[in-house]
Structure 1
Amino acid sequence: MEELFTLEKEVGRGSYGVVFEGHVAKTGQRVAIKRLPCSNPESIELYLQELWAMRTTAKNHVNVIALHGCLMQTGTRSLKPLKPGNLPLRLVESVLKGSVVRALQSQERTNSPCNTRRRSISACRLQDRTNTIQAKAKLQHKSKESSSDSSTPQRPQNRRRKRPAPTQEDQTGSLRCLALWLVMEYCDGGDLNQYLLSRPPDTQRNHRVVQQLCSAMAFLHRLGITHRDLKPDNVLVCVTAKGPVIKVADFGLSKMSECVVDGDLTRQHFSSTCGSDFYMAPEVWGGLTYTAQADIFSLGVMFWAVLERITFVEEGTTQEQLGAYVCKGRSSWLMPLGEALWENAELQLCIPMKFKRAPPLPPPPGPAMCTLLLDMLASDPDARPLADQLEARVCRALKEDSH
């Protein structure tokens, strides 16, 4: 990745990193740049999973967020591009050993040949203690040879220089990694919550959202990727003249599942309880092993919420969110669908959900779509449709209901 990037402003912050709006210096293209500080092995493992998933999807599907490149921060002002297919071996070692592996002090003090591959953004103040950055990019090249002189010879402009062959230190990743920077396509419509709830209900728009999510999920599952944290917050929107383009994002919890082999789907089972409460499948709530079909349940919750504009405010927050739920008893306590179905697998869900929708109210889903939603939200994972069946079933249900 040869482009330089200018960081403009912070646009999002989460538990693990911060996202900035930026631009490619040469073209002016707007991009999103996500900084992931590599401070502990647990976070590093999530970052490598996200990088792996995004490299696997590459730019091959319009409804999955595209990764333009990745940089490794090796110092307060130094960034090193990562080639496609390569992982920082020191980060992999940190995950395997359970502690952050740092370069030897002697290596950090001296100028090794791998320093010739560094690129720095001179005006960019990369602060390790804070995640705020105001920057303008400027490419600098350092010469291979270092002397006791404090000045470093500058590479003449418009002249090619043959780079030295990678040394052993290059290949083993001896440089200390302070953070990973993921450069991704920018989505100007915010997340799915922000986009849909800031606009009056539109049935056709909702249908396009549902169909695009089906297409993205079929693509991911064909590649063997189980997302494991599907929710409106992790779905971004690009606003176009032809309508919203949906982008599934945030692959930090994603895992590899078996893909289709000779027409047969062999499934990888997972055991880690992860995801967001209101979208987790019953088997995940119960601590059982689960498969990629847990994604289908999460998608069913999202579909129901999008089509009926069902919202809730999660305890401890003030943000209105799209999501379906069950009311516990006569109180106002909201129980996630997955938890309720885990406690009672025979629970009958009421689709459509009357009197629980955020005004103004869209028309409720028709009978065919209601049947599909119930199948997606089945307690038994094997009773849920597969991802590659969803898109056709959604189109068929919408067509039936339109008549």
Structure 2
Amino acid sequence: MDVCYGGRRMTRTPRSLRAYKRLVEAQHSDIKIKSELKREMGKVLRALSVGSEKNSEDTDVPVEEDCLYMNFCRSQSLEHAVVMAPRYSLLRQVGRGSYGIVFEAIARRTGARVAVKKLQCNAPENVELALAEFWALASLEKKHENVVQLEECVLQRNGMAQKMSHGNKRSKQYLRLVETSLKGERILGCPEEPCYLWFVMEFCEAGDLNQYILSRRPDPRTNKSFMRQLSSAVDFLHKNNIVHRDLKPDNILISQKSGLPVLKVADFGLSKVCAGLGAGDKEGDELQAAGSESHGNDGTVNVNKFWLSSTCGSDFFMAPEVWEGHYTAKADIFALGIIIWAMLERITFIDAESRRELLGTYVRQGSEIVPVGEALLENPKMVLHIPQKTRSTMSEGMKRLLQDMLAVNPQDRPDAFQLKLRVDQVTCAA
């Protein structure tokens, strides 16, 4: 990884495990990207009329070679299915994530822009990432303006399409997806008959946090607004028992539909839903060590008491305890501290893979650039120089808040609710 420091470009080779998602990205070649884009551009996602309510979740609908049906026949036969006007049209590819291709699309009936993410279920790790995102977003009973909204999820296989619903044990296709993830072997699809999952979500036209911040002049008012929005989003997720585990500027999107920039936390492929997990679940095995402390007297879940063990995320934003593989939701607070610090001081590095300039804070050790979390793990007594720039206008309250968010000991960090209150206080006082 190349990093800009003091006007010079430096190269850093990670000394620990690379982010899990980068291993998935390596599976895709440039040739594959070009061929897939040519096939996908101009495709239309069509809808069917709805019949009776019986057996709705386990009824497949045929998919034409260039179409995916996004509403589904509700009867056991397809005799009453009537093809209606196209529902979505794919316009262009807007990005390739760690485990899928993202398209901008348009809803033909309303003219609204949506984002459509396509994932090929060609490997158990892809299925696991997709199910994690689906479970996290589908588990949210309420909406939050700073969390990306999932409209629907569709499974396409063998020329058939089926809408996925969370936890539907009557759906054989859904159960096979779960089995693929748990067993770590291909259950659905084959090279000759590929299987896909499609996610339809709200579209964020202003790109990600990197693009937005670095393409504009520094604006203290925008920084304060973004801090409040980010802390509110993480507080909402933790209250709903979701640990994101991959907070970074790439996964924070911007919408300007209302005229003002609104942040949207996105990409929940590495997230973990901490509620309702038992020792028999795959997730439960990872979280089992939390014990009875994970629930309060009123039965509510405390995500800061659930212990996670998978070392995953993006290295520049990983907390010290994540590198060790034993952490809680407080790891999200650390990642958010790195993001806010980099945003306020516009600290950047050049990613060697994408060649993009990205927001991110780090520690310089001789000729090496080291992620803050990794450096703190090696030297817990290390003092972080906040602010990093000598001519900084950062307030004392903001300095203390960042120091607390980036504390080596997770117990010394504020939880998401405390963070939201402190961010409100600091931004109002500044």
> Could you tell me the TM-score, scaled by structure 2's length?
0.71
For 1:190-339, what aligned pairs fall within 5 Å after superposition?
A: 190-257=207-274, 261=296, 262=298, 265=302, 267-285=305-323, 287-329=324-366, 331=367, 333-339=368-374
Could you tell me which residue of structure 2 aligns to residue 10 of structure 1? 93
Query: Is 1:69 matched with 2:155?
Result: no
Query: Is 1:185 matched with 2:202?
Result: yes
Cα 1:336–1:232 change in 2 (3 A) is same
Cα 1:178–1:309 change in 2 (3 A) is same
Could you tell me which residue of structure 1 aligns to residue 378 of structure 2? 343
The partner residue of 2:126 within 32, 37, 43 is: 43
The partner residue of 1:90 within 155, 160, 176 is: 176
Over the matched positions of the two proteins, sequence identity in percent amounts to: 48
Tell me, in whole angstroms, the C-alpha distance in 2 between the residues paired with 1:4 and 1:184: 14
Q: In terms of mean alpha carbon deviation, does 80-89 or 258-267 score higher?
A: 258-267
Paired amino acid for 1:219: F
Tell me, in whole angstroms, the C-alpha distance in 1 between the residues paired with 2:301 and 2:185: 40
Partner SS, residue 345 of structure 1: coil
- The alignment of Structure 1 onto Structure 2 pairs a total of residues equal to 322
Paired amino acid for 1:210: M
Cα 1:181–1:399 change in 2 (3 A) is same
Question: Offset at 1:48?
Answer: 0.6
Cα 1:264–1:223 change in 2 (3 A) is closer
For 1:125-164, what aligned pairs fall within 5 Å after superposition?
A: none
Question: Offset at 1:9?
Answer: 0.7
Could you tell me which residue of structure 2 aligns to residue 370 of structure 1? 399
Could you tell me which residue of structure 2 aligns to residue 79 of structure 1? 161
Question: Offset at 1:96?
Answer: 2.5
Partner SS, residue 263 of structure 2: strand
For 1:24-63, what aligned pairs fall within 5 Å after superposition?
A: 24-57=107-140, 60-63=143-146
Could you tell me which residue of structure 2 aligns to residue 169 of structure 1? none
Question: Offset at 1:245?
Answer: 0.4
Deviations 1:256-311 (A, max 9, x none): 235763377361111111000100001112x2410000110000000101111111
Tell me, in whole angstroms, the C-alpha distance in 2 between the residues paired with 1:257 and 1:365: 36
- Checking the alignment, whether the CA contact within 8 Å between 2:135 and 2:273 is kept in structure 1 is no
Tell me, in whole angstroms, the C-alpha distance in 1 between the residues paired with 2:427 and 2:207: 26
Deviations 1:233-273 (A, max 9, x none): 00000014542100000000001235763377361111111
Paired amino acid for 2:269: G
Query: Is 1:399 matched with 2:424?
Result: no
Partner SS, residue 290 of structure 1: coil
Paired amino acid for 1:56: S
Tell me, in whole angstroms, the C-alpha distance in 2 between the residues paired with 1:207 and 1:66: 24
Could you tell me which residue of structure 2 aligns to residue 156 of structure 1? none
Question: Offset at 1:314?
Answer: 3.1
Deviations 1:92-112 (A, max 9, x none): 121222211148x9xxxxxxx
Partner SS, residue 380 of structure 2: coil
Partner SS, residue 243 of structure 1: coil
Q: Which structure has the larger Rg? A: 1
Tell me, in whole angstroms, the C-alpha distance in 1 between the residues paired with 2:301 and 2:89: 47
Stretches of structure 1 lacking an aligned partner (at least 5 in a row): 106-127, 130-175, 356-360
Could you tell me which residue of structure 1 aligns to residue 18 of structure 2? none
Paired amino acid for 1:398: T
Partner SS, residue 139 of structure 2: helix
Question: Offset at 1:84?
Answer: 5.3
Cα 1:221–1:184 change in 2 (3 A) is same
Could you tell me which residue of structure 2 aligns to residue 168 of structure 1? none
> Could you tell me the TM-score, scaled by structure 1's length?
0.75
Paired amino acid for 1:234: N
Q: In terms of mean alpha carbon deviation, does 272-281 or 88-97 score higher?
A: 88-97
Question: Offset at 1:317?
Answer: 4.3
- Checking the alignment, whether the CA contact within 8 Å between 2:241 and 2:302 is kept in structure 1 is no
